[in-house]
Amino acid sequence: MEAVKVREELSEYLDGLQEQMPLAFWKLAEIFKYQVFELCEEPEEKEEESGKSYLIPYMMNDAIEDYLVLENCRMVGEVAAEEQAGGLELSARISGKEGAYVLVVRQKSLLHGEETVFTLHFEKIRESRTCYQYHEIGHFWMEGQEQWRRLVYMAGTIYDKFAYVGEEVCTEGELELLRLVEFAPFRNWSPVRESLEEKYPATYEGIACMEQFAAMAQDRGYLALLRLYRRFPSRSLERWLTRALTDPSREQLYETILQAVEAESGTYEKRDYGTAFHQKIAEKRKQAEQKLIRAGFTGTYPEYHRGEFEVIILEEHPFTVMEWDHFQFRIYYMVSQVKRQTTIGRNCHRQARNRGFFRGRGRNSWIFTEDGKNVADRIRKKM
């Protein structure tokens, strides 16, 4: 019954949608429901023999690229520029059958109220879906405890992949990991300014997931707090557990979760941008390594050490589709310092990464762009 309700609701957002139509059309209706329709013409070098294709993104993040493909497609009219229109309100109608579909899209300017139409004639619609590695990627939008914020981002990425596409695109390990964002004290280290509370509601499964990792890390102190929180899930205990994650005693817990994420991500393929772009990427990585070696660091990409300092290189990767015209590959340096005289407390781990990002005397951390700019300065300017 629930599936029938969902289909009835979606049919309101794509007029002409029929029960027997392929699943991809129902995903297209979902795109119009949330007003996130985008259209990208496939480059000439990627065109199939059957003719030109147009791509419509469905779920695009660091872990998955899922989009709809309109094969042998011809467009009549133009897609309105959203910026000039002050935003667009979209509605659509589908008609025809395989071999001769017609999609009519109406675009209403929220600024001027003007309405324009474009039409897509295509033979077939299909869904293209590929999962990719995500553990070498870094995005930095918030200052402080970036090591935890990055873990929250990756767990959220897995969660979104599961929520929008389904468990068939997740490993068994990922299905366990995604519950971490349902543990409020972990989720509170949001990688963005907005709270994630509404997007990832707290659950007892989230507490159980963190309990499992705390047990694996032999972090008895945090495990005791978790058991108390399970019995009395109050805001004050939530704040306590949130702050406790910043303590150096959580180093082993952090490393345990990080290794679990890396293991699951590593089961997927790396993004392939073609020979020319990979040569550019290889050159950037080489330049980054040489810069660190000249500064006295030793190690292999992406981890380097020199005395009290550790540097981990992270990257920003573009999607393999829809970003051909503005291909961006960026490098970031996560720099961590733990001074030699720093006291090593309970559950601290000398082999854990990013130790300088935890709070405490003798600990310092920075994040730099490839051209040497401090990311924290950029973040403060935007606040």
Q: What is the pLDDT of residues 347-382, one digit of tens each?
A: 555 689 999 999 999 999 999 999 999 998 888 877
Least confident span in 45-49, 65-69, 128-132, 222-226: 45-49
pLDDT above 90 coverage of the chain, percent: 79
CA neighbor of 90 nearest in space, from 100, 102, 105, 104: 105
Residue 22 and residue 29 in contact, taking contact as beta carbons nearer than 8 Å: no
- Arithmetic mean of pLDDT over the chain: 92
Spatial separation of the C-alpha atoms in residues 178 and 154, rounded to whole Å:
9
The secondary structure of residue 137, as a DSSP letter, is B
pLDDT at 294: 97
pLDDT at 383: 63
- Regarding pTM above 0.85, the answer is yes
Confidence of residue 49 (pLDDT cuts 50, 70, 90): low
Least confident span in 47-51, 69-73, 79-83, 288-292: 47-51
Q: Is the pLDDT of residue 74 over 70?
A: yes
Q: Is the pLDDT of residue 208 over 90?
A: yes
CA neighbor of 255 nearest in space, from 172, 312, 197, 187: 312
Spatial separation of the C-alpha atoms in residues 280 and 286, rounded to whole Å:
10
Confidence of residue 345 (pLDDT cuts 50, 70, 90): low
Spatial separation of the C-alpha atoms in residues 326 and 71, rounded to whole Å:
24
pLDDT at 347: 55
pLDDT above 70 coverage of the chain, percent: 92
What are the structural domain ranges in the chain?
2-131, 146-382
Average pLDDT over residues 172-194: 98
Confidence of residue 342 (pLDDT cuts 50, 70, 90): low
Q: Omega of the bond prior to 191 within 30 degrees of 0, cis? A: no
CA neighbor of 336 nearest in space, from 320, 359, 315: 359
pLDDT at 1: 44
Spatial separation of the C-alpha atoms in residues 303 and 261, rounded to whole Å:
17
Q: Is the pLDDT of residue 234 over 80?
A: yes
The DSSP annotation for 21-69 comes to: S-HHHHHHHHHHHTT----EEPPGGG-BTTB--EEEEEEESSSEEEEEE
The DSSP annotation for 195-225 comes to: --TTTS---HHHHHHHHHHHHHTT-HHHHHH
Least confident span in 30-34, 53-57, 343-347, 352-356: 343-347
Length of the chain: 383
Confidence of residue 260 (pLDDT cuts 50, 70, 90): very high
Q: Is the pLDDT of residue 65 over 70?
A: yes
pLDDT at 340: 80
Least confident span in 7-11, 12-16, 217-221, 357-361: 7-11
pLDDT in tens, 117-136: 999 999 999 999 999 999 99
Residue 312 and residue 303 in contact, taking contact as beta carbons nearer than 8 Å: yes
Average pLDDT over residues 90-98: 94
The secondary structure of residue 237, as a DSSP letter, is H
pLDDT at 48: 53
Alpha helices in the chain (DSSP H): 2-11, 23-33, 82-85, 146-165, 172-177, 184-187, 204-216, 220-231, 235-244, 251-265, 275-294, 375-382
Least confident span in 58-67, 203-212, 215-224, 314-323: 314-323
Confidence of residue 324 (pLDDT cuts 50, 70, 90): low
**Pair of tokens at residue 19:** 């029960």
